[in-house]
Amino acid sequence: MGGQMIEEPRLLQLEGGLRLVYLYQRGAHAGIFGMSVSAGSGSDPDSGHGLAHLVEHTIFKGTNKRSPRHVINRMESIGGELNAFTTKEETTVYAIFPGRGAQRAVELISDLAMHAKFPEKELEKEREVVIDEINSYLDSPSEAIFDELEDMVFAGTRLGHNILGNPESVRGLCGENCREFLRRNYTRKGSVLFYAGPQSANVVAKLVEKYFAELREGEQYEPAAVTRMKTGVYDERRLENLHQAHVLTAFPAAGLSSELRFSENLFANYIGGPGMNSVLNIELREKRGLVYTVDVSMARFRESGMFNIYFGCDSDDVERCKDLCRRAVEDITDCPPIKLQRRLNGAIKQYLGQLEVSLENRENRISGAARNVLFGGATVSLETIKEHIRNTTISDFREIAGRYSERSELIMR
């Protein structure tokens, strides 16, 4: 039996410079439409940290023709939903809706992007919501530690502050700050629109051209320079009433547009990915029972990136766990070539299988394709990714492992 053809996201260049990433999904019962903007917390003004995130929170709080309740009900009344998220370099607003509800979603998101009002009454309430969110992170050291380390290794650059801002900076933001951020960043040149679902490309393209016809052209996005991440060993931060130590080690990685990211993703998956058979999960948890969670993740930005190795353990076991992590990474540089090639072959087989499974996550797939266009100018096909993964060599693995010697560490306990 022949394999089923896998539909790939494709980039459509529309009238007036609008960009639409389109993924046809025959027989799908739901659609996704959204807008990704190349402005996140890295675009916050120096005196207004947290602005991009506050805009994301309050963009749903009314437009020139809709009340906040009307905005919410526009999608939810048909069983759909609205959502948004902010990263250091991107803001995405999107809707998920039943089958052929694309017109409703496209019209609504265009209204938000061009006509959100940010009324002071709503801002006042949302500031407190955001401040509660900031405080909730402070109560969760396993999450706060990532922000703290990024703040330190990117200090002095546009990436060197928390996405949420701080209570003082958030309280200082007003409606005009939000409206100016929207005017400056939610533009044709600074955004990519995306759709995945059962409606044809022609139908969706016409909807986008109709409802986004008045979207401002804007300036070509030019990110401020980010220096290479600063490395070294950072002092411990001690917190009261913690029963566990939280440890995060980071070392340099490639940016979003570099082809090195493919082999790095494979390496991260092998060393500490979500599988129970990852090297660090076996060494720290399965063999020795020292941790509940150990995880390797990637933080990627336009011009740089970080490998993050995180674990939580008893305070008395910190040094032992750190030593096991170091030995696991260094083992790659010392492993005999034949043995390492066998490991690499197994890692490639597992990762390619995970890629196939990930195709079922439509939300991540289409928003990820939009991000590739936003920061790299083009979509990346599944076959291209597979080719890069298959071409990863043991020399690539050893080069990545060698960077661990430049690591930075933060310990909260």
Distance, in Å, from the CA atom of 304 to the CA atom of 252, rounded to the nearest integer, reads: 8
Token reading at 375: 């920061």
Confidence of residue 236 (pLDDT cuts 50, 70, 90): confident
pLDDT at 219 over 90: no
370, pLDDT greater than 80: yes
- Among 380, 379, 393, 382, smallest CA distance to 348 is for 393
Is pTM beyond 0.85? Reply is: yes
Return the CATH architecture of domain 232-412.
2-Layer Sandwich (3.30)
355 in Cβ contact with 382 (< 8 Å)? yes
Tell me the CATH number of domain 10-211, given options 3.40.50.10190, 3.40.190.10, 3.30.830.10, 3.30.1050.10. Answer: 3.30.830.10
The two domains 10-211 and 232-412 share their CATH topology (first three levels equal): yes
Q: Would you place residue 3 in the very low, low, confident or very high pLDDT band (cuts 50, 70, 90)?
A: very low
Q: Which of 305, 323, 328, 306 is nearest to 397 (CA)?
A: 328
b/e per residue 158-196 (b: at least 16 CB within 10 A): bbbbbbbbebebbeebebebbeebbeebbbbebbbbbbb
Residue among 353, 352, 335 at smallest CA distance from 386: 352
Residues 374 and 188: beta-carbon distance below 8 Å: no
Give residue limits of the domains in the chain.
10-211, 232-412
68: helix, strand or coil? helix
Residues found in the chain: 413
List pLDDT tens digits, range 294-308: 999 999 998 889 999
What digits encode the pLDDT tens for the residues 330-354?
999 999 999 999 999 999 999 999 9
Cα distance between residue 141 and residue 312, in whole Å: 10
**Structure confidence at residue 222 (pLDDT):** 62
For residue range 5-20, what is the model confidence (pLDDT) as tens digits?
A: 678 999 999 999 999 9
Q: 192 to each of 43, 50, 240, 334, how far by Cα in Å?
A: 17, 22, 45, 45
